[in-house]
Structure 1
């Protein structure tokens, strides 16, 4: 139990009605989870407004309400805290309630459009190999040392996140690596946390369904670095045209990584093949298992972070040379007799798709055909649908458009959006198959020996979201199944 006044530290309070020296059992932002002695924080969400559930929460026995607008009727025995921003307040309250867990280890935040999961995952693997007890908060999974906790969001809500970080502190983690999505930054899910360092990978066209404009998206990412303290470090991609913008107002110590120009962490690709990357990192030549130019950037970001955290350069590079990336990120399998290469990748933005296909084109020997299976998510930025379709056609010999989490949208309508605006050459090399399983089956049936099939968009995900239901589906397992059928 905690005293209410203690967990309100740093919260911007506008008014208080009731006692703040009371003890509270827990904190909740979901009225269905409150119980006797809870604090209920009424947050305005995209679909629901927590203020509409204050009465329900009181009926379930809460001790205190945190809200932006005071109810018309305030009840005796309930403490009401009016704040300027409930989401921001939730961040501070959660951090205080869980004993400021981010102060107990070195927390590193990774933000950017592409590369977050790989960077955070490789950092977790690297520092584990270096002998540290580590935590990971990522799109694919959350980990506390060797215990896996399934992930539901790139960055959990403030209360779930601080509860998770508290567990990491209890398990004596010394380093925690966390993806920080633009949604999480904007929605104050990471407010109140103390970061030892922050990384910026890149920024491209994504999440405009939420942020509305590219400028708003950039500002959301930049806000993370603006919030870093002078005791922290900030590392940014100098080759991204907004790499310096991200750090221009940060109080943190600035570092940059680059493949193209002089930087604190400088890389140069010597060889890029399906067997991995050979590159120099600050003039040391290393062979890495990760593949592609985009992973060269990810490796530089990881290397830079390790150096900023005081690790030995040669030991870091030795371990990095042995590590694989994250599940569903350029994850490939090869069929037994036909030697068809199947690549599963999470690429779900135009830039990510272009990166993966560019890498594949560079890696192929020259005669292999590239068959791309790609879709676009429902209820998400519609403007990227025709762009992604055109990219798939431009870089592939055959493109198959299909479903990718249609949610409540009609898959046929999404496919029509993807087809809209395709040039005549693209139309000739593309087909649309709404059923993703059938699309993968068709890709395998069209492939000749040593051809390359890319399944883009779902990566590590083990489901399809169709009409609000989570339906079991795994790209990699489906591809293996189709390869097995091909061998029979």
Structure 2
């Protein structure tokens, strides 16, 4: 592609070289550079791409796009200066892949909790309506039925635009995507325009990255500035703020949903059952196989978005009934001949833990046993709150390790325990031993919830990532018990 075409929409200054060049590919990782590529120097949190510009040139890069002046002796190399490298990367990536989002209807979902479930519900409903759908999210990415592995909730802009292009080539009409605060703040989705943006809720998370709650909120709000229509949970305290801030933008369609406050889509006659939920919205009956009040909220946001997109209610009703979300209130106990149940859930924030425990509490005919920890190298303030919430709602809690990363696991555990005032807990560093203890102590009618890992099949330790699938671990423990 011609360099000038690639740079369309980018504000840049030529520091060296000329613009009459053919570009093979775009890279921001110098290790991937091949002859004729353009290298974008990104300033990261641990690595500065500017330090690898010379490596990129040695590997064949013909153009360097940077945020600060660099010294490259090779006069055949063009050097371009931009103010914001990540925005520039997003623009040139869209140019390179021929603006695929203009050929897709994007639906973005943001919030602390509920993003994953919401996009799976949307995909299910749209497919029931006969649409081909792409999905971008935490668990995996999908192009129709084809599953692709996912490393980030929202990929970097270069990979994201490539994924959009593949969706277009495969005939997708819609793309539903979890739109994380990181992706919005780091301009991974810069330039993307959304048909609908959905706000689920906002509670404490990711403050290790955003530093303040206002920064966290402002990052999330970027989605709604880029959405033609906004669907907002008005029961959430920050939902009112989103609503007011979207109003200020003018010429935006806004729809609200709720369980408690008055809204455009308010759930009435809610019946929470062991295996599903039933409720009525604006005269129509809906039910979902996903239990718990928080899943009523997830369903409401989806119903409102689908109405905006003119999806018929029959497809919405069918889609809600046919959604399975891996690692979200995933019941695995029924597979075994045991007198208690085991549930795996991704809940890793205080609010998420509260939701899953409150949902499962009525189903525990005896005790509710919770096993969980908190991620290392992440927001430390929420750890004590996780300790408090778990011990107040569960009958017994086993505090353990969960992706400790570079921190000492017991140091993280001590910070969780610091928030506990009750005595109904024990701390066990080894997560396998913690799960084994929960299963060994379980009695008839108990419900064990393994929280924090959900769909993840790994643990991130000081020395790197290891395989760790809680479904496999439960299998092994129960096999050993039968011997």
TM-score, normalized by length of structure 1? Answer: 0.95
* CA offset digits 1:126-154 (Å, max 9, x no partner): 21222111101010000111111011110
* CA offset digits 1:368-392 (Å, max 9, x no partner): 1011000111111111111101111
Question: Offset of 1:14 from its aligned partner?
Answer: 4.1
- Cross-structure match for 1:268: 268
Q: Mapping of 1:36-115 within 5 angstroms?
A: 36-73=35-72, 75-115=74-114
2:137 and 2:153 in contact (8 A); partners too: yes
Q: Mapping of 1:347-366 within 5 angstroms?
A: 347-364=347-364
Question: Offset of 1:421 from its aligned partner?
Answer: 3.8
- Cross-structure match for 1:482: 477
Question: Offset of 1:56 from its aligned partner?
Answer: 0.7
Distance verdict in 2 for CA 1:12–1:227, change over 3 Å: farther
Matches of 1:274 and 1:480 in 2, distance apart? 24
- Cross-structure match for 2:232: 236
Pair 1:464 & 2:459 matched: yes
Pair 1:369 & 2:364 matched: no
Matches of 1:257 and 1:411 in 2, distance apart? 40
- Cross-structure match for 2:403: 405
Q: Mapping of 1:247-326 within 5 angstroms?
A: 247=243, 248-249=245-246, 250=249, 252-320=252-320, 322-326=321-325
Matches of 1:340 and 1:485 in 2, distance apart? 17
Matches of 2:285 and 2:226 in 1, distance apart? 36
**Structure 2 unaligned runs (5+)?**
none
- Cross-structure match for 1:20: 19
Matches of 1:269 and 1:183 in 2, distance apart? 37
Matches of 1:20 and 1:257 in 2, distance apart? 51
Pair 1:447 & 2:442 matched: yes
SS in 2 for 1:348: coil
Q: Number of residue pairs matched?
A: 478
Question: Offset of 1:269 from its aligned partner?
Answer: 4.8
Matches of 2:446 and 2:482 in 1, distance apart? 15
* CA offset digits 1:93-141 (Å, max 9, x no partner): 1111111011111011111100001111111122122211110101000
Question: Offset of 1:313 from its aligned partner?
Answer: 2.0
- Cross-structure match for 1:415: 413
SS in 2 for 1:412: helix
SS in 2 for 1:242: helix
Of residues 432, 438, 444 in structure 2, which corresponds to 1:437? 432
SS in 2 for 1:409: coil
Matches of 1:241 and 1:386 in 2, distance apart? 22
2:386 and 2:419 in contact (8 A); partners too: no
Question: Offset of 1:265 from its aligned partner?
Answer: 1.8
Matches of 1:193 and 1:30 in 2, distance apart? 23
Question: Offset of 1:233 from its aligned partner?
Answer: 1.2
Matches of 1:288 and 1:5 in 2, distance apart? 51
- Cross-structure match for 1:339: 339
Matches of 2:15 and 2:256 in 1, distance apart? 46
Matches of 2:229 and 2:201 in 1, distance apart? 17
Q: Mapping of 1:220-231 within 5 angstroms?
A: 220-228=219-227
SS in 2 for 1:122: helix
Of stretches 395-404 and 68-77 in structure 1, the one that deviates more from structure 2 is 68-77
Matches of 2:54 and 2:380 in 1, distance apart? 38
Matches of 2:200 and 2:99 in 1, distance apart? 27
1:405 and 1:466 in contact (8 A); partners too: yes
Matches of 1:314 and 1:145 in 2, distance apart? 21
Matches of 2:267 and 2:146 in 1, distance apart? 34
Pair 1:330 & 2:329 matched: yes
1:95 and 1:193 in contact (8 A); partners too: no
Question: Offset of 1:79 from its aligned partner?
Answer: 1.4
Q: Mapping of 1:369-388 within 5 angstroms?
A: 369-388=367-386
Matches of 2:314 and 2:127 in 1, distance apart? 16
Question: Offset of 1:356 from its aligned partner?
Answer: 0.8
* CA offset digits 1:401-460 (Å, max 9, x no partner): 11101111111111111112421xx2x211011111110000011110010101000000
